[in-house]
């Protein structure tokens, strides 16, 4: 008997799973998830992410068992696990979805590919999103993406199991030696949780999406909250796109029309940013525009970095957002962008110093979104509009009554409302700052001026614009008036078109 391994990675579902369907059509199937300790030891991995994945694996095991073949879980090196199972059970094929991941997963997949070729194993990889592997040029990409999403979703197939394979335990975070990571309000993983979240957004919560998503208070409910389910493939992008289109076809009144269009636009931006990492796998390690490598010190200021990581920058709205993120694993898009901007511009920290820390905090960490946005908000792409967020203004705009800030910074209870977002201007600041709450690590206004001068000074340097045009040719896309992506051949004469700031695309 010969059969197939279906290697699950960031596609933890049975619905709309082309790899599972293709394997099932050929005979017995061994559904496999490999827990890779080395992957979970990387600086962008965290216990909160693993807890979410473990819940997804438990649910997936039940869904697969109902189809006829429960999930097999093994811990170890992917090549060694695949080799052992293939040899022991006479399996000749591997099916999986393409993964747009980190340099580590890219290198692992290359090792698996080399092993498969050397041992006569057929490895069939297919897309699970609008991202296109080995894309020669961005022209025509949008149409390919739209056609992929418009295709019918594959239905879960009946399965014939490979006999004699023990399911194996799903390890705990402690077993994987992951650092303790308290996240009391983390979202729950698993297919049922994902479907409940999707249904709640499309039937009730999403009407105010467009207007409320920028607020850390209103956005907690109004945003879809689907990002972790999309990041680990509990839902496919196609499933979500079909559900949103079906809801829009019902022509609901009120604010639904605008909110659904905005949501569908963000689904498209999600694939767009993931395509950037697919085209440039080292995006997490190097600045997209080479000249910006010299913009900030590669060795970060230890005091400023520690203040950012411990939510003690002395800038109230920034610290409130960081504490909220620590407790929930989520933050709305504008606040994510603000955090990166403050770290890069006010604290003058290299994005490679703060990127892994933020990645660990996000339960919905998606490498293709995260690293593109880290660079975009840090101004190192050379093609995107420079955004230096004013955290004081953001606090006043997004938390005008101070409810959010006070909830996460109770030590500022004594500070009057008028001075909450800049307590250093309050006459009684000495009673709080430097005691219950730290002094700001930088002068907010002066730091912003210095950053703006440095960034624009570099952009005016000889040769910068020419390289920016080449970066734009390879990586930049914009939308036309009908909402479709088109390729940008060069940046605009003054400032290039900017995509939404949406770190990890919180949706």
Closest of 333, 381, 331, 336 to residue 354, by C-alpha: 336
Q: How far apart are CA 430 and CA 433, in angstroms?
A: 5
- Residue 324 among known ligand-binding residues: no
Using CA atoms of 252, 257, 259, 260 in order, give the dihedral in degrees to the nearest 10.
Answer: 80
Q: How far apart are CA 74 and CA 71, in angstroms?
A: 10
Token pair 């933890």: residue:
12
Please enumerate in sequence order all residues whose Cβ is within 8 A of that of 101, keeping only pairs 6 or more positions apart, or say none: 9, 10, 367, 368
Residue 367 near residue 100, CB atoms below 8 Å:
yes
Q: How far apart are CA 365 and CA 89, in angstroms?
A: 35
- Residue 437 among known ligand-binding residues: no
Residue 108 in tokens: 């692992």
Token pair 């209870």: residue:
413
Q: How far apart are CA 34 and CA 338, in angstroms?
A: 36
Using DSSP, how many helices (H) and how many strands (E) does the chain show? Answer: 21, 7
Q: How far apart are CA 89 and CA 163, in angstroms?
A: 8
Residue 224 near residue 239, CB atoms below 8 Å:
no
Neighbours of 146 (CB within 10 A): 15
Cα 485 to the center of its chain, rounded Å: 21
Please enumerate in sequence order all residues whose Cβ is within 8 A of that of 129, keeping only pairs 6 or more positions apart, or say none: 100, 148, 236, 237, 238, 271, 274
Residue 29 near residue 159, CB atoms below 8 Å:
yes
Using CA atoms of 131, 291, 335, 507 in order, give the dihedral in degrees to the nearest 10.
Answer: -10
Q: How far apart are CA 130 and CA 149, in angstroms?
A: 7
Q: Which residues are annotated as a binding site for FAD?
A: 209, 263
Q: Which residues are annotated as a binding site?
A: 209, 263
């Amino acid at each position: 008997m010969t059969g197939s391994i279906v290697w699950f990675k960031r596609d933890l579902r049975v619905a709309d799973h082309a790899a599972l369907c293709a394997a099932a059509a050929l005979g017995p199937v061994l559904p496999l998830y490999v827990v890779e300790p080395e992957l979970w030891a990387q600086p962008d991995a965290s216990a909160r992410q693993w807890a979410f994945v473990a819940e997804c694996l438990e649910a997936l095991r039940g869904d697969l068992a109902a189809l006829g073949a429960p999930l097999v879980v093994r811990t170890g090196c992917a090549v060694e696990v695949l080799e052992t199972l293939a040899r022991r059970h006479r399996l000749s094929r591997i099916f999986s979805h393409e993964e747009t991941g980190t340099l580590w997963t890219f290198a692992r997949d290359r090792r698996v590919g080399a092993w498969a070729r050397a041992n006569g194993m057929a490895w069939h990889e297919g897309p699970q999103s609008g991202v296109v592997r080995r894309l020669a040029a961005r022209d025509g990409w949008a149409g390919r993406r739209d056609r992929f999403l418009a295709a019918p979703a594959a239905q879960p197939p009946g399965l014939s199991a490979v006999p004699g394979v023990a399911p194996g335990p799903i390890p705990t975070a402690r077993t994987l030696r992951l650092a303790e990571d308290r996240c009391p309000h983390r979202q729950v993983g698993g297919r049922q949780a994902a479907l409940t979240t999707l249904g709640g957004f499309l039937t009730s919560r999403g009407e105010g999406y467009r207007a409320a998503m920028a607020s850390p208070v209103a956005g907690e409910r109004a945003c879809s909250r689907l990002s972790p389910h999309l990041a680990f493939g509990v839902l496919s992008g196609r499933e979500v796109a079909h559900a949103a289109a079906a809801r829009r076809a019902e022509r609901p009144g009120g604010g639904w029309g605008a909110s659904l269009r905005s949501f569908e636009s963000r689904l498209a931006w999600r694939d767009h940013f993931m395509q950037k990492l697919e085209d440039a796998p080292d995006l997490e390690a190097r600045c997209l525009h080479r000249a910006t490598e010299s913009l900030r010190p590669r060795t970060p200021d230890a005091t400023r970095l520690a203040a950012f990581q411990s939510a003690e920058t002395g800038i109230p709205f920034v610290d409130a957002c960081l504490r909220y993120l620590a407790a929930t694993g989520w933050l709305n898009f504008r606040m994510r962008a603000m955090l990166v901007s403050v770290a890069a511009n006010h604290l003058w920290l290299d994005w490679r110093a703060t990127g892994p820390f933020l990645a660990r905090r996000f339960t919905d960490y998606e490498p293709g979104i995260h690293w593109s946005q880290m660079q975009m908000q840090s101004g190192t792409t050379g093609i995107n509009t420079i955004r230096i967020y004013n955290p004081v203004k953001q606090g006043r705009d997004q938390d005008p009554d101070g409810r959010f800030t006070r909830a996460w910074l109770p030590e500022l209870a004594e500070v009057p409302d008028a001075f909450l977002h800049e307590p250093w201007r309050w006459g009684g600041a000495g009673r709080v700052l430097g005691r219950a709450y730290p002094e700001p690590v930088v002068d907010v206004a002066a730091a912003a001026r210095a950053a703006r001068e440095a960034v624009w000074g570099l952009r005016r340097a000889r040769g910068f614009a020419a390289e920016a045009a080449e970066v734009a040719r390879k990586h930049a896309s914009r939308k036309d008036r009908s909402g479709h992506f088109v390729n940008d051949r060069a940046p605009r004469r003054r400032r290039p078109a900017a995509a939404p700031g949406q770190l990890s695309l919180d949706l």
